[in-house]
Amino acid sequence: MTISKIGVIGAGLMGNGIAHAAVIAGFDVTLVDAFAAALPKALATMTKNMERQVSKGVITEEAKTAALARLTTSTDWHALADADIVIEAVPEKLEIKESIYKELAGALKPDAILASNTSSISITKLAAMSGRADKFIGMHFFNPVPMMKLVEVIRGLATSDATYAAVRDLAEKLGKTPVDVQDAPGFIVNRLLCPMLNEAIFALAEGVGSVKDIDAAMKLGAAHPMGPLELADFVGLDTLLSIMQVLHNELGESKYRPAPLLVKYVEAGWYGRKSGRGFYDYSSNPPVPTR
């Protein structure tokens, strides 16, 4: 199974990054989003990030120009008709993904692979919704996609060997390192990482330390490049909450209960970096702790 044309659904942070990595690697990419306004914004972000890569000597100006020429954008699902694989990177809401899979049923060619960038939802469950369970797989990238080397490859119960082999090969061609993961809530990274971030929020709410001191303690004491609250803002507090809810609902253990303060921040629309405010206020440089 040869992959040469890639479709990406969702022009947000992750979809934009996946498309960026794919065009840099030499693939033709069609980026689709239901909201037309999201597409020029994604293109501007991609261009800015590639210019940064040029300035750092990671790619040449010619490579940047060639990569952007391999990208097309659309709001029409049928623009994905000739894609060999479509990678869905929309918000972690089951109803949104199910709706998109229904739309794709009549748009994709029969042998196209459908991959989800979900960070925590069951691949077997999504595969059953897709109508092409043998050609469905999890392909979980990490932010920022152009820089992060890991891709978690998650097989559902019905994922075929051919689909699995093609996706592992694609991950390597994108310059990533694929890691095989069982279809379990949170997979590997988020199963281990998100409870730590959640616990840091409990510690903050209980007054164990301030935002600044909790982050400094973990950077200096555990050699983490980012403190847990800074990282939570980077991941997105809404995304973190969704993952913790999945872990709590699926595994049923109290240690996965979302921190009430996390819930409150999401209710306030304080999602972290992407909204301009979370555990830090990003309207100033450097960002200032909000608690």
Amino acid at residue number 168 = R
Q: Which of 88, 92, 152, 230 is flagged as catalytic?
A: 152
Q: Which of 140, 198, 230, 248 is flagged as catalytic?
A: 140
Q: How far is CA 287 from CA 121, 191, 269, in A?
A: 32, 28, 18
Tell me how far apart the alpha carbons of residues 108 and 88 are, in angstroms, rounded to a whole number: 13
Active site residue 152: yes
Q: Which of 190, 198, 230, 242 is flagged as catalytic?
A: 190
Per-position b or e across 109-147, b if 16+ CB within 10 A of its CB = eeebbbbbbbbbbbbbbbbbebebbebbbbbbbbeebbe
Beta partners for residue 209, in sequence order: none
Tokens 């990030």 appear where? Answer: 49
Active site residue 119: yes
Non-local CB neighbours of 264 within 8 Å, separated by 6+ positions: none
Active site residue 249: no
Active site residue 224: no
Amino acid at residue number 203 = A
Pairing relationship of beta strands 150-155 and 136-140 according to DSSP bridges: antiparallel
Non-local CB neighbours of 104 within 8 Å, separated by 6+ positions: 77, 80, 86, 114, 130
Non-local CB neighbours of 188 within 8 Å, separated by 6+ positions: 152, 179, 181
Q: Which of 16, 49, 116, 119 is flagged as catalytic?
A: 119
Catalytic sites, residue numbers: 119, 140, 152, 190
